[in-house]
Amino acid sequence: MIRLHIPQPLSQGAAVAPEPDQARYLTQVMRQTVGDEILVFNGADGEWRARLAEVSKRGCRLTAQEQTRPQAVGPDLDLVIALVKRARLETIVEKATELGARRIRLVTTRRTNADHTNVSRLQAIAVEAAEQTGRLDVPQVLVPEKLERLLDAWPGDRRLMFCDEAGDDPSEAWGGEHGRARPALDALQGQARGAWAVLIGPEGGFAPEERERLRGDAGVTPVTLGPRILRADTAAIAALTLWQAVLGDWTAGA
Ligand code: SAH
């Protein structure tokens, strides 16, 4: 069934007016007519079955019929991602939405060289991915900020899985000493659930001073994703997958 994110209050009998492009999609692309039913959600009131009540030149109107699923919240997982090339960033936002990230925080780092960002386009990609994947909420895409500033204001109760490609010396990552990166699965096992974030660097990787700072910060778990250097999109997918499998909602204890 068609599923749309419509940020309006949903309750029994509520009238819901989709945005013009959603209305066009419904009536012109998907050829829905009065009486047809779709699913709608707004991130707060769960998911509802809604009937197309009226179609006009100017748009359409739906009536919420009954709740199909109550609102539920997924894990409290942020993806902190350095700006990378546009196409790659769009893939990352889509995949992070599918993989259950709650927020996507864009950051600039010492070696960030991409300065494009169309946050509203990225947010629209998150909405579409949430519609498709059956989520009851849409991850928030936050405007880019400096990594240093983000770390300065980092809340004490949120842990950070720092994906550390270990710079020029990959062998350095496998030391296992305190502060050094450990294989991700080993590093996550036994850690507490709760608020977490995954940090992925830019195509140029992290600068040595960023790496030093991150390794020294309380609450940071430096991890490696194996001996090969992954592209940022692959690294984000791999890291979110591992986190979900150990500490997130892919596990029985979630
Ligand atoms: N240019 C860098 C690679 C950057 S890859 C270099 O050659 O070293 C982009 C980001 O993906 C990295 O900053 C890191 O966060 C993540 N990443 C890629 N491969 C990784 C690995 N094997 N382990 C941990 N993180 C990795």
pLDDT 10s digits, 97-112: 999 999 999 999 999 9
Q: How confident is the model at residue 174 (pLDDT cuts 50, 70, 90)?
A: very low
- CATH architecture, domain defined by 77-247: 3-Layer(aba) Sandwich (3.40)
Q: Give me the pLDDT at residue 179, please.
A: 63
Question: Which ligand 1 atom lies nearest to the CA of residue 223?
Answer: 24
Which atom of ligand 1 is closest in space to residue 202's alpha carbon? 9
Rounded to the nearest angstrom, the distance between the alpha carbon of 180 and the centre of ligand 1 is 15
Give the dihedral of Cα atoms 190, 193, 197, 203; nearest 10 deg. Answer: 30
Q: What's the rounded Cα separation, in Å, for the pair 62 and 80?
A: 37
**pLDDT class for 170, splitting at 50, 70, 90?**
very low
Domain with CATH 2.40.240.20 in the chain: 3-69
pLDDT (mean) for 26-48: 97
pLDDT at 116: 73
- The tens digit of pLDDT for each residue in 119-144 reads 999 999 999 999 999 999 999 999 99
Q: Reply yes or no on whether the pLDDT at 53 is more than 70.
A: yes
Q: Which residue of 83, 109, 185, 230 sits with most ligand 1 atoms within 8 Å of its CB, as the best mutation to test the pocket?
A: 230
Q: Which fold has domain 3-69?
A: Ribosomal Protein L25; Chain P (2.40.240)
pLDDT at residue 173, as a whole number: 46
Query: Is the confidence at residue 178, as pLDDT, over 70?
Result: no
Q: Distance, CA 138 to ligand 1 centroid (Å)?
A: 27
- Residue range(s) of every CATH 3.40.1280.10 domain in the chain: 77-247
18-26 mean pLDDT: 96
d(CA 144, CA 55): 39
Ligand 1 site, CB within 6 A: 163-165, 167, 200-201, 203-206, 224-226, 228-230, 232, 235
At 224 the three-state DSSP class reads strand
